Amino acid sequence: MKEHTRKPALLHLFWWFMFAQGGVLAAILLPVHILVQGILGPLGIVPVVDRHYDTWVNVLGNPLVKLYLLVLIAFPFFHFAHRLRYLLVDLGVPAARGVPAQVFFYGGAVAVSLVTIYILLTTVPISFT
């Protein structure tokens, strides 16, 4: 008699992990970045690291900053991809359930992650000083 064994749904686990971590990171880290770099800095209320080329480049060269920025940008996009796809489902777009939509949204998150890695590695060289 053939025994049926349950395989762990590792792919499913991966996507849910990325969704959950992306949501947590967006919730905890994004508001302060938007407030400081999107509002207070441009208005000139406080000095902000990305307002001047020298300070921005010095920071961008740091490998820990590169890693932080990769996590900050890439992870939330997996969360966004899932939420936006199901937003379309909720709004009555049945095509959002299909494989092409999954490729578009989750593939888009992967593409943004790869572009982020490329930009972080090529914009400013890694510096340990």
Partner 1 sequence: MGVVSSEPASRDFRWSMPRVWWTRRAHYFWYIVREFTSLPLALWLLWFLVEIRRAHDGPSGYHPHGSLGFVIFSVIVLLFALYHSVTFLTLAGAILHFNVADRPIPSQLIVLSQFALWAAASVVVGFVLIYLGRT
CB of 30 or CB of 103, closer to partner 1:
30
Question: The tokens of 25 are what?
Answer: 């990171």
104 touches partner 1 by CB under 8 A: no
Number of H helices, E strands in the chain: 4, 0
For tokens 């994004």, name the residue: 30
Q: Are residues 69 and 116 in contact, defined by beta-carbon separation less than 8 angstroms?
A: yes
Answer for which of 15, 21, 69, 101 binds partner 1 (CB under 8 A) is 69
70 touches partner 1 by CB under 8 A: no
Of the candidates 74, 52, 63, 70, the one whose C-alpha atom is nearest the C-alpha of residue 125 is 63
Answer for which of 9, 35, 103, 126 binds partner 1 (CB under 8 A) is 35
Phi first, then psi, for residue 123 (nearest 5°) are -75, -50
CB of 3 or CB of 45, closer to partner 1:
45
Residues that bind partner 1 (CB under 8 A): 23-24, 26-39, 41-43, 46-60, 69, 72-73, 76-77, 79-80, 83-84, 86-87, 90-92, 112, 115-116, 119-120, 122-124
